[in-house]
Every structure is written in structure tokens, then in C-alpha cells.
Structure 1
Amino acid sequence: MNAPLVIAVDCSTTAAKAVISTADGQVAASASRPLLTVQPRASWHEQDAAEWWTATRDAIAAAVGMLDEPGRVAALCLTHQRETFVCLGADDQPLRPAILWLDGRAHAEIAEHGSARVHELSGKPGDTTPAIYKLAWLARHEPETLRDAARVGDVQAVLSLRLTGRWATSPASADTLGLFDLPRRTWSNELLDIAGVRSAQLPDLVPAGEPIGMLLPDVAAALGLPAPVPLLSGIGDGQAAGLALGASEPGIAYLNLGTSMVLGVASDGYRWDPAFRTLAGIGPHDHTLETVLNAAAYVATWCREQLAGDADLEQAAAALPPGAEGLLTLPYWNAAQTPHWDPLARGAVIGWHGRHTAAHLYRSILEGVAYELRLHLERLEAATGTPVTQIRAVGGGARSPLWVRIVSDVTQRPVHVCSAGEASAAGAAALAWSHLTGMTPQQAAAQAAGPLLDGHDVRPDPATAARHTALYEVQQRLYPQLREVFSALADARDVPIG
């Protein structure tokens, strides 16, 4: 009963989630507070960065309030949505809304600066997600914001400032902004020049798992903690989920089937290729290779909210045959990422006929995302030479039996559906336990993995393989044939009226 506890906070795109757990992964308390995303224009996605702090504070306080002995809390660690950034003024308040990872406003800057040189330096192909291009957009369209900003940083840096008074983050968090010379693990002057950012605006870098500082006394009191505890440097939510799910082992990939779809594997050496984006790992020589589609559950949710009415689309789609009776969806609602990296690409649905219903569209969306995952896997394996033998799935989409069945059948690979626990928070907790116990983060994660890895396996149905392969091959012809159409559509959309 007197064993220590750690608090892990995942400040994601949709909510700040605080999870208090033991060293063996048992959850003692948890709480969540929502975050609102606004779309002031098509392809723009923003948040009030002040809400990152209020949601995090309130979630932690609510979780701590459930404990009989808050004094057992020994450490706090953060994980968070990646690539998202905010500019703070001299009073440490946001100068404008934060620009999110899925924001697509900077297509002109990607075209101008998204070179092979930038890819090689940063590990990131020219894409909508890295902050470098949206910072360059600010430098062009809102120069006063970057001029007047005292601080420019990621979600962890903002929360660290509120919690400890120190402007700091980890290399594995800061790297996702796209401003790092990734092989050298330091800010790149060349990339900063492209972004229009000054090095003095950026946070201090603290290696993952090491202390950023002690919580400020008044902050600890507001959270319900009897005394300050250390804030340990965390990592981005994707890397954190990979740590918790044991994806450091060869052949194991983590799949977050959430708002976006992210699949990742570990790499102990630096490599860069259009088949993936390369991210800083926990240690100085560790890397994570990820494939990404910025609209996965995002599109499925859109379909349910806009078209379902009172219908249960999940049940209706499950009753349809593979292939949705000839309907194919290219799920590029928020641009195309792996392996095309085209910010102008958009969603497309082909094959409509009069028999099709909203359920057909819904199933074709689930299948379209799965076909993209198959493409990602094949390109990743070809580039690395290492086969993926098991997929460990988390996220809201992984709670859909239909979607997981489709993913397994389309990829013809086993999928282990993990428990409904918070995988990214579990990775942050592993970093905290590593600091407290002296174990490696991987050892700490393995010790706590039982509750998270509880789940079930879904194995592919070979009877569906031929049909899905035929449809997959058709879908892979869509983007090459529509690429110029997407570009022309973007130009036509911007023609002035009147």
C-alpha cells in the first residue's frame, strides 16, 4: 500500500489524460479533460495552447484526488501530440493559437523548402506535419508573430514551463518540429533559417528520462500533491507508445489507429528514406522509423458524424462483403503522407453506383486506410530489409473488431489488439520508473507491460486475400493518376471570386 506511484500525462490532440500507476503497470487512478480543435479555414487546425495547461492541471488534480495517499507520488512525466507548436510572448502567453501537426496551410512552403537536403538533415520528408514549414508560413504571412515571440516550442516545453518554471523539452520531443540536425542531435542553424526562428527562442534540451526540474511549490499544491516531485523529460506520443508496446524488438511494429494512423519500428542507426520519417529515440543513438497517414479514424469519424444519422454504420458495414461492392476510398482528407508526401492530395471515392449506401462508404474508408497500411509496410520492409512479423495495435480504431479484421485481412499479418489502456502514457510512466529504479526504459516498460499487452490476436483470413490484393492493386493506381488533378484543384480553389 505504501509503494511509490508515478503520474504520466498524455497531452494529445483531443484530451489531456493523467494516469497514475504502479511499477507493474497497475492503474491507481486516471482522469481526462478534453481539448478543442478549431478549423478557421479549410486545412487549418489550431488550438488554444493555454488549454494544454488547464486541461493537464485539471486532469492531474482529478486523478490525484482519487488517491488515498497522494504522498506516494514520486515523479511526473509527460508525453504529447507531436509537431504541434506555439509562440509565446514576453509574458509567456500565446501570441496566436497553436498550429497543430495535421494543419495543411503550408503547401507553398513545403514546395519551396521540402528538399532532399532538408530530409537528410531532419529525417523528415517534405510534408504537412513538421513544424518547420508552418513556421516558414508564419515568417511569410505573420512575421510579427515570430518577431515578437520570446519562446517557440512544443507541447512539452509549454507544460514544463508551467510545471517547473523551466523552458525545456527532450530531443525526442523537439526533433518532431523538423528543426533538428537529427544525426547530431542538435538544433540546425540551416533549418532555423528556413523556419525564421532564432535559437534563443527554443527550449533547453534535456535527455529523455532525466529531470527537468522540481514542480513549483504552488503548482504541486494546486495538483493536490503534499510536496513537489520531479518532472522527468518525456518523449512524443508515438515513441512513447512504441516503448510501452515493446516495439524495440526486431519484427515488432506498433500501430496507433487513432485520429491519424502511425506505424513505427525501432532502428539503432540513422537512416532516411521516403518510405518513412525518422525520429529521435530515447537514447542518443536510438531512432524510430514511422509511416503515417494523417487521416484514419479522422475520416471514419467524419463519415459517422456527417452521414450516419441514427444508423449503426459499424454493424451495417460488417454485413457487407470485402470490397464494399466496388467502392474504393483514397483516404487523403488531410493530404498524403507515406510514401507520396503530397500536401495537395485530397480524399477521393470512386466506383459509386445506386446500390451504395453510407455503410458502403464507411466500409470503403476502413478498407482504404488498411490498403494504405499495406503500402506502408511493403515500402518500410523494402527500405530496411527487416520484415514486420507482428503488429501491436492501440487507439480508438483498434477497438473496432471490424476494422482490425480488415487490417489483418488486407495486410495478411497477425494483429495483436492491446488492452484499452493508454499506451503513450504507459511509455511516459516507463521513463519515470527508469529514473526511479535505475532500470533501462525498455526494462521498466517490460515490467509494466502486462496490463497493456493483455488483449487478443486477430489472424488473417486467407479466403479474403485474393480479393483484397486485387483491390489494393487498383487503389495503388489512383494517386499517380490523380496527382496532377489534385494540384490543379488546389489552384482552382484559390482563384479569386468577382
Structure 2
Amino acid sequence: MSSEFLQDGPLVVALDSSTTSTKAIVVDAAGNVWHTAKRNIQLHTPAMDEYEHTASRWWETSRDTIAEVLSKLSTQDKDRVKAIGITHQRESFAPFTTDGTPLRRGILWLDSRAASQIERYGSAHIHELSGKPAGVTPALYKMIWVKENEPGVLEGADKVTDVLAYITFNLTGRWAASTASADSLGILDIKRFDYADELLDIAGLRRDQMPDLVPPGSVMGTLKPELASEWGISASTPIISGLGDGQAAGVGAAAVTPDVAYLNLGTAVNAGVASHDYVYDPVFRTLVGGVPGDFVFEVVQSSGSYLAGWFRETLGDPKLLGEPDPELDAAASEIPPGCEGLITLPYWNAVQSPYWDAIARGAVVGWRGTHSRAHMYRSILESIGFEMKLNLESIEAGTGTKITTLRAMGGGTRSELWRQIMADTAGVPITLCAEDEISALGAAVVAMAGIGAHGSGGVEQSAREMAHFGITVEPNMDLHEQYREVARVQRKLYPQLKDTFQELYQLAEKYPSSRPESPQAEL
């Protein structure tokens, strides 16, 4: 055990149930991660644009990872475990019976089956009420899809919940969710921190189907005695109300003021800042923050490291199975910025910020015979940077505060090429977070604040005490100016192709593909 680990004081277990896996960590009050455990979750794609999980895996993987990290502690250190905190993949949901049996697979945040529902129901009023622009991520529109296409599934459910509430039920026996987790479903009146009856009605839901709402950092319940006995920790261990993984990443990075943004280079790329005031905007989505009473302004781009991975798997070295390719990175590093006239529109999974168009598609424009795989790969990375710069400018307009630092996390930060491109396109220094499981660390911060581990300073104080950082990537401002010219051209593509995307969507609806997998199989 490292000598830096605190040998006294509280420990917390933090859980992060994400799109591809569930992770658990044990953390001390200085933010040192003692142990980690991970279990993968299979991603099901029953049809084009449909992404699902077997919902029971949310709990099974949580149970197993918590058991594993606790098994690595001595009996004495198990006595120091004072809380369990949770973060989760946002917007994903499933219907359940009272005893927690899933009634269908969980529908995930990146699922874009509800394009028709978004077009028919999306409105400025719903945006203002929920804080969420109409798009593929809020669960509201996919709930409407289920109501219209699978009659009886939602109506017959005892509970319809996000991932965090289902895990909480299995830990405590209480159906409860955090306002900072359930908010991402898009069915809350965000300014009131409560469910909106109007939105529940649109989704085909009832209040009695909803879990109780608890502010982040508050106790949702105590651990079931049988789990406490099995894991060797106190039966009075509180389960602390957590938050969605995006907000949690910001808390783990101590991005708790409007001038410091978090930048998550994960499956999706998102960035956000904290705000004391509620604002809704066409570009960013407004979320309930990890600090009780606060909000987060967040931009999201679905095609993040997913898109880089797609390229490597589809067009890269087949022996690497989509894993990072140092040779490809090296070749792309030799390509000049702007990729000699090759520009990408990175909307492989539709587009969220800034256009929120569920039927948008990707495009690569400017091909010449002299372009190579390395040109396209670099163009993809640059395009994500161009989109992020545009989105960050909108956040700054919403807060009235200039962003001076980006604190980055996620698998994409391991690419020296990509993180430099992101710094150069943004024109802002990027400081890397030292902890890999940054969302889990954010849940640990909220849990520590919930038990008063750092005094009365709340989540902000706990975040500053527990965050750790690595190198800072400085932007090349000469390249930044060059990228601004390329970005001006790139930003013309979506308006010019919008009608084309509509025609392609209509053709896809007219001639749908068939897939052998049924969405009702293997609950």
C-alpha cells in the first residue's frame, strides 16, 4: 500500500455504472484510490440506431464490483468504510416490477430510435421546462417511442427508473433517485427539482411509478443487512445520493466554478461548467449539478472516442480490433493541420450540440487521390475539436464568464495527438486529470461531502481536497488561428447538408434493414 494513502479517517466506495462496464473504487478523504474493480456489460444493438442493455446487469455488475473492492480491504479498513456513492450512465432507463424484475431491456442514452417522436414532440416549452433541447439523448422521447410501439410495457410497470435508482433499490430496498441523476431523463421541472406532471403525461408515466427524489449528497437509505454481512461492513452504511456521470466527472475534476470546464474525451465528448443560475440555451443542455441547488451547462457530442474507435476498427489495422494504433497516430501527426483540404462532419451518431438533429449523418468532404487513411483519421479528430470550440463559445455566452482552463479525462486523453489537437482548436490549456475513473471519483467526492468528511465546505471543498492532476497541454496559438480558418469552412457543411440528411432518413424509413435480434429477448 502506498505511503501516500491515509491510514486513518473515512473511506468510501464509489460506483460508476457506465455504457460498457461497471467500475467500483475505494477512496480515502485525500482522493487516493485504494482499489478498483470492473465488470463489462454487453451492448445489444437489435436494430439500426437501437442500443440496449440487459437491465439486470446494472445491479449484477454493481454487486460484484463492490464485493471485489471490499474483499481487498483488511477487517480494520472495512470498519473505516462510511458510505457508498453512485454515478451512472445518464438518460438510460428501464421498466421494472416492484421486486426489481426488468420488463424489457434498458434503452440507452445513445439510442436514436425516437427520431419521429423528437420531431413531433420536441418544443421550446419542453426545453425550458426540462432544460434539455429536443435530441436523441433525453429519455423522454424514447419513453414516448415505447408507449407508441410497445403498448402496455410502461403502463404495466411498477417502476420506470434510471440506472442509479435501480441500483439504489437493490442496495437499500428503497426506490430512490438523485435529482442530479433522474434529471437527465428529461421528465423533471428542473427549476423546481421535481417531476413535471405534464412531461410524465407525455411519456405515458404516472407519479407512483417514479422513484423518490433526493438531493445529491443526501442519504437515500442504508445498506441492506444481508449485503452488509456478506461484504463485512456496517449495516448502518449510508447510500449517498449521487449524480450522472457527466456531472460527476466535473466534480471529480474540481470544475466547480464557471471559469473551469471539464472535458470528457469518452465514448461521447462532453464539456460543462457549474452555474448558480438556471439558464436554458439552444446549444447546451442544463442539468442539475452535484452541488445542491446548482446547475451544470453541458455540451455533448455523441461521436467522441466512439468515432475514433470506429475508424480504427473499420478502416484500421484489423489485428488491433479497434484498439489504439501508435503507427496510425504517428502517421496522422505528420499530416498538416487542415488535412490538406479534407474536412469531416462527425455526426455518425446524429448531432447534439449545437444543432440537436436526430437524423443528421456524418460526412467527409474534400477527398483527393493523394489523401490517405491518416488524413481521414486526423480530420476526424480535428472535426471533434472544431465542434467543441463552437460549443464552448456558447457556454461562455450563457455564463458570461471566459473559460480559462479545461480539465480533461476519458480514454481519448491517452492520445498525445488528440489532446494536442483539442488544445489547439480550443485555444485553451488542457490539464489532464490524474485519476482514470474520474466519474467514480466524483461520486466519491459527493459521498465524502455527504458524511461531512471535509467540514462544512460541502461538495466544492471535498472536490478541491480530493482532485489530482497530471500534465497541462498548452495550445499552439499559431495553429489555433489556422484551425479557426478551417473551422469556418467546416461549419458551413451542416446547413448545406441538412435537407440531404432529411432525404436519407426518409429513404432509410422507406427501406428499413432487418436484424435477427429481437429487442424483447434476454431481459
CA contact (8 A) 1:76 1:229 kept: yes
* SS across alignment from 1:209: coil
Match of 2:296 in 1: 288
TM-score between both structures, scaled by the size of structure 1:
0.96
Q: Deviations over 1:93-148 (max 9, x none)?
A: 11111000111000111111110000010000001000000000011001211121
Displacement of 1:278 in angstroms is 0.4
Amino acid aligned to 1:117: H
Match of 1:448 in 2: 466
Match of 1:208 in 2: 216
Match of 1:4 in 2: 10
Matched, 1:172 2:180: yes
Match of 1:47 in 2: 53
Gaps of 5+ in 2: 1-6, 320-324, 514-523
Match of 1:101 in 2: 109
Matched, 1:377 2:392: yes
CA contact (8 A) 2:222 2:236 kept: yes
Q: Note closer, same or farther for the CA distance 1:420–1:6 as it changes in structure 2 (3 Å cut).
A: closer
Matches within 5 A, 1:97-496: 97-225=105-233, 227-309=235-317, 310=319, 312-437=327-452, 438-439=455-456, 440-449=458-467, 452-453=468-469, 455-496=470-511
CA contact (8 A) 2:257 2:275 kept: no
Displacement of 1:317 in angstroms is 1.2
Displacement of 1:380 in angstroms is 2.0
In 2, Cα distance between equivalents of 1:306 and 1:419: 31
What is the RMSD of the two structures over their aligned residues, measured on CA atoms?
1.6
In 2, Cα distance between equivalents of 1:49 and 1:290: 27
In 1, Cα distance between equivalents of 2:19 and 2:381: 21
Q: Note closer, same or farther for the CA distance 1:276–1:497 as it changes in structure 2 (3 Å cut).
A: closer
In 2, Cα distance between equivalents of 1:407 and 1:274: 23
In 2, Cα distance between equivalents of 1:115 and 1:159: 32
Amino acid aligned to 1:183: K
CA contact (8 A) 2:291 2:459 kept: no
Displacement of 1:283 in angstroms is 4.4
List structure 1 segments (4+ residues) > 6 angstroms apart after TM superposition.
Answer: none
Displacement of 1:91 in angstroms is 4.1
In 2, Cα distance between equivalents of 1:47 and 1:497: 23
* SS across alignment from 2:356: coil
Q: Deviations over 1:337-371 (max 9, x none)?
A: 11101000011111112222222221111101001
Amino acid aligned to 1:298: Y
Tell me how many residue pairs correspond in the alignment: 495
In 2, Cα distance between equivalents of 1:96 and 1:322: 47
CA contact (8 A) 2:275 2:399 kept: no
Amino acid aligned to 1:293: Q
Displacement of 1:402 in angstroms is 0.5
Matched, 1:77 2:92: no
In 2, Cα distance between equivalents of 1:60 and 1:80: 15
Match of 1:14 in 2: 20
In 2, Cα distance between equivalents of 1:182 and 1:95: 28
Displacement of 1:497 in angstroms is 7.7
Query: Which one is further off, 64-73 or 368-377?
Result: 64-73
Amino acid aligned to 1:94: P
In 2, Cα distance between equivalents of 1:225 and 1:192: 39
CA contact (8 A) 1:185 1:284 kept: no
CA contact (8 A) 2:146 2:154 kept: yes
Amino acid aligned to 2:106: A
Q: Deviations over 1:239-269 (max 9, x none)?
A: 1111121222231000111001111011111
Match of 2:34 in 1: 28
In 1, Cα distance between equivalents of 2:13 and 2:198: 38
Q: Note closer, same or farther for the CA distance 1:119–1:308 as it changes in structure 2 (3 Å cut).
A: same
Query: Which one is further off, 270-279 or 317-326?
Result: 317-326
In 2, Cα distance between equivalents of 1:187 and 1:432: 24
Amino acid aligned to 2:49: S
CA contact (8 A) 1:430 1:448 kept: yes
Q: Deviations over 1:374-409 (max 9, x none)?
A: 110122223332211111111111121110100111
* SS across alignment from 2:155: helix
In 2, Cα distance between equivalents of 1:321 and 1:167: 54
* SS across alignment from 1:346: coil
CA contact (8 A) 1:135 1:196 kept: yes
Q: Note closer, same or farther for the CA distance 1:215–1:404 as it changes in structure 2 (3 Å cut).
A: same
CA contact (8 A) 1:61 1:224 kept: no
Query: Which one is further off, 70-79 or 312-321?
Result: 312-321
Query: Which one is further off, 413-422 or 298-307?
Result: 413-422
TM-score between both structures, scaled by the size of structure 2:
0.92
In 2, Cα distance between equivalents of 1:211 and 1:497: 47
In 2, Cα distance between equivalents of 1:272 and 1:183: 11
In 1, Cα distance between equivalents of 2:87 and 2:442: 8
Displacement of 1:463 in angstroms is 2.8
Greater RCO structure (CA 8 Å; 6+ sep): 2
CA contact (8 A) 1:71 1:227 kept: no
Displacement of 1:228 in angstroms is 4.8
Query: Which one is further off, 83-92 or 207-216?
Result: 83-92
Gaps of 5+ in 1: none
Match of 1:92 in 2: 100
Displacement of 1:177 in angstroms is 0.5
* SS across alignment from 2:385: helix
Query: Which one is further off, 301-310 or 486-495?
Result: 301-310
